């Protein structure tokens, strides 16, 4: 008990995110879409704000891993192919902190180093040159052209064996159709025929969802299920990796980061995110091979400097303070979200009790005196 005249302590509940809402009450999808749009429009203030919202929310760091990689694929891609290595190292460092904290994600989210790493990764995307993903053919477009492609290939109009596909394809484990599609895709990539490259990429991604998809060797990372590791998309990724190694696309560490980032975020990317990231990697490799063999194209654009990135994140600490105030304000507003606040027991008590039909009939007989 408190002494007379002494103020009673104020007991407050810490704001918490739910499976449907972030710390400040925003829907997860709205936050991730706003973050991706902000990166596309080079709005650093908004991008840092929504990235910080994900850092502060439970389950937000996992969504952030996939969202930033998807944003890179949609808006940057070949213009800065080295960014996924930066993000791959950031993910690995954050996960190492989580392991050292014995799974205490709150301790990880409140670590200044984590907030600094995320802010730098977002700023690098904002400051990088933009090369948006081109319009992609739909699955319906692929189905329309599929029969014409089959007729051409059966008539002997195929491109023949390609080097990277021949090294990746495994007889007895991979279906024959994978060899044909891999040859066509690799030929289109080497010849810089973008429409054909996009067609075969989307066709292979569409084929992966069909019940009669060709068999494939187990190539996925160990954290995935056996079915996921045998997805034919990993055959496509293996061909792209082989082409990147053959063409000496970036350094070994940057190549490992490029392909390793999609492995770490595979499940969180979703179908659309995986599609866009694979297409962005294919276009990045194609852009490098074309620049390597051409006498007129210039070198790749320089990545943002570290000084520019540091200047772009000077106000991040104040942003986290603003989020903390907004989260407590949201909590005091008592929003009707299941699992976020306790139900309003006073309002529940004022509600009239509901009677089922049998109770109503019994009450009617009782009032009639029967």
DSSP assignment of 4-54 equals TTPPPPPP-PPP---SSB-TTS-BHHHHHHHHHHHHHTT-HHHHHHHHHHH
Please spell the DSSP secondary structure of 90-151, one letter per residue. Answer: HHHHHHHHHHHTTT-HHHHHT-HHHHHHHHHHHHHHHHSPP-PPPPPPPHHHHHHHHHHHHH
The CA-atom distances, in angstroms, between 356 and each of 78, 103, 352, 359 are 65, 48, 13, 5
Do residues 111 and 222 share a domain? no
- Report the distance separating Cα 193 and Cα 1, nearest Å: 79
Do residues 55 and 86 share a domain? yes
Q: Are 293 and 86 in contact (CB under 8 A)?
A: no
| Residue for token pair 């690995």 | 92
Q: Are 203 and 195 in contact (CB under 8 A)?
A: no
Do residues 230 and 331 share a domain? no
Which pLDDT belongs to residue 128? 95
Digit-coded pLDDT (tens) for 7-39:
433 333 455 656 678 888 888 999 999 999 999
Range of the domain at 109: 12-129+301-370
The answer as to whether 256 is a domain residue is yes
Do residues 147 and 283 share a domain? yes
Average pLDDT over residues 357-366: 65
The answer as to whether 3 is a domain residue is no
Kindly report the number of other CB atoms within 10 A of residue 230's CB atom: 18
The answer as to whether 195 is a domain residue is yes
Structure tokens at 75: 């808006």
Do residues 181 and 314 share a domain? no
Structure tokens at 182: 């891999």
Domain end, chosen from 293, 319, 351, is at 293
Do residues 199 and 239 share a domain? yes
In degrees and rounded to multiples of 5, residue 27 shows phi and psi of -70, 140
Name 21's bridge partners. Answer: 27
The answer as to whether 97 is a domain residue is yes
Do residues 273 and 183 share a domain? yes
Overall number of domains in the chain:
2
Which pLDDT belongs to residue 345? 54
Digit-coded pLDDT (tens) for 169-181:
999 899 998 999 9
Do residues 283 and 306 share a domain? no
Report the alpha-carbon angle 227-229-233, nearest 5. Answer: 105
The answer as to whether 120 is a domain residue is yes
Band (pLDDT 50/70/90 cuts) for residue 369 is low
**CB within 8 A of 275, min separation 6: which ones?**
136, 202, 205
Average pLDDT over residues 283-302: 81
Q: Is 57 helix (H, G, I), strand (E, B) or coil?
A: coil
- Lowest mean pLDDT of 17-31, 99-113, 215-229, 232-246, name the range: 17-31
Do residues 285 and 143 share a domain? yes
Average pLDDT over residues 93-114: 88
Do residues 160 and 285 share a domain? yes
Domain end, chosen from 253, 269, 293, is at 293
Query: How many C-alpha atoms does 255 have within 13 Å on its Cβ side?
Result: 18
Q: Are 92 and 58 in contact (CB under 8 A)?
A: no
Which pLDDT belongs to residue 351? 60
Which pLDDT belongs to residue 334? 45
pLDDT of 337 above 60: no
- Report the distance separating Cα 268 and Cα 361, nearest Å: 54
Digit-coded pLDDT (tens) for 133-191:
999 999 888 888 878 888 888 887 778 889 999 999 999 899 998 999 999 999 999 99
- Report the distance separating Cα 342 and Cα 26, nearest Å: 19
Do residues 146 and 195 share a domain? yes
The answer as to whether 276 is a domain residue is yes
Query: How many C-alpha atoms does 210 have within 13 Å on its Cβ side?
Result: 13
Q: Is this structure's pTM higher than 0.85?
A: no
Structure tokens at 23: 């710390």
Q: Are 180 and 221 in contact (CB under 8 A)?
A: no
Q: Is 225 helix (H, G, I), strand (E, B) or coil?
A: coil
Do residues 56 and 198 share a domain? no
Band (pLDDT 50/70/90 cuts) for residue 322 is confident
Which pLDDT belongs to residue 133? 95
The CA-atom distances, in angstroms, between 69 and each of 85, 131, 222 are 11, 14, 21
| Residue for token pair 């989307």 | 202
The answer as to whether 134 is a domain residue is no
Band (pLDDT 50/70/90 cuts) for residue 347 is low
The answer as to whether 1 is a domain residue is no
Task: Give burial (CB, 10 Å; 0-12/13-18/19+) of 4.
Answer: exposed
Domain end, chosen from 231, 266, 293, is at 293
Percent of the chain scoring above 70 in pLDDT: 82
Kindly report the number of other CB atoms within 10 A of residue 105's CB atom: 16
């Amino acid at each position: 008990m408190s002494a007379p005249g002494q103020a009673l302590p104020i007991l407050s509940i810490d704001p918490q995110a739910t499976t449907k809402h972030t710390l400040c009450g925003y829907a997860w999808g709205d936050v991730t879409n706003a973050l991706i749009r902000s990166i596309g429009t080079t709005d650093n203030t908004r991008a840092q704000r929504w990235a910080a919202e994900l850092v502060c929310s439970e389950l937000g760091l996992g969504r952030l891993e996939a969202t930033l990689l998807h944003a890179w694929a949609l808006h940057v891609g070949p213009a800065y192919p080295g960014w996924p290595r930066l993000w791959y190292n950031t993910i690995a460092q954050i996960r190492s902190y989580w392991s050292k904290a014995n799974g205490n994600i709150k301790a990880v989210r409140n670590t200044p180093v984590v907030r600094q790493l995320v802010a730098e990764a977002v700023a690098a995307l904002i400051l990088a040159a933009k090369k948006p993903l081109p319009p992609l053919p739909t699955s319906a477009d692929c189905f329309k052209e599929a029969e014409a492609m089959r007729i051409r290939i059966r008539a002997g109009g195929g491109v023949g064996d390609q080097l990277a596909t021949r090294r990746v394809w495994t007889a007895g484990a991979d279906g024959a159709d994978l060899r044909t599609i891999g040859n066509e895709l690799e030929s289109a990539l080497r010849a810089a025929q973008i429409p054909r490259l996009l067609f075969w990429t989307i066709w292979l991604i569409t084929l992966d969802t069909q019940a009669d998809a060709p068999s494939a060797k187990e190539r996925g990372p160990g954290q995935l299920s056996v079915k996921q590791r045998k997805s034919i998309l990993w055959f496509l990724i293996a061909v792209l990796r082989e082409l990147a190694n053959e063409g000496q696309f970036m350094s070994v560490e940057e190549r490992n980061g490029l392909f390793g980032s999609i492995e770490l975020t595979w499940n969180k990317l979703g179908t659309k995110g995986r599609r866009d990231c694979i297409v962005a990697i294919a276009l990045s490799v194609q852009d490098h091979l074309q620049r390597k063999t051409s006498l007129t194209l210039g070198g790749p654009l320089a990545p943002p400097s570290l000084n520019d990135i540091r200047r772009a994140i000077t106000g991040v600490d104040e942003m986290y303070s603003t989020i903390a105030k907004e989260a407590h304000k949201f909590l005091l507003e008592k929003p009707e979200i299941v699992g976020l606040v306790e139900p309003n027991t006073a309002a529940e008590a004022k509600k009239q009790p509901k009677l089922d039909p049998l109770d109503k009939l019994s009450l009617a007989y009782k009032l009639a005196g029967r």
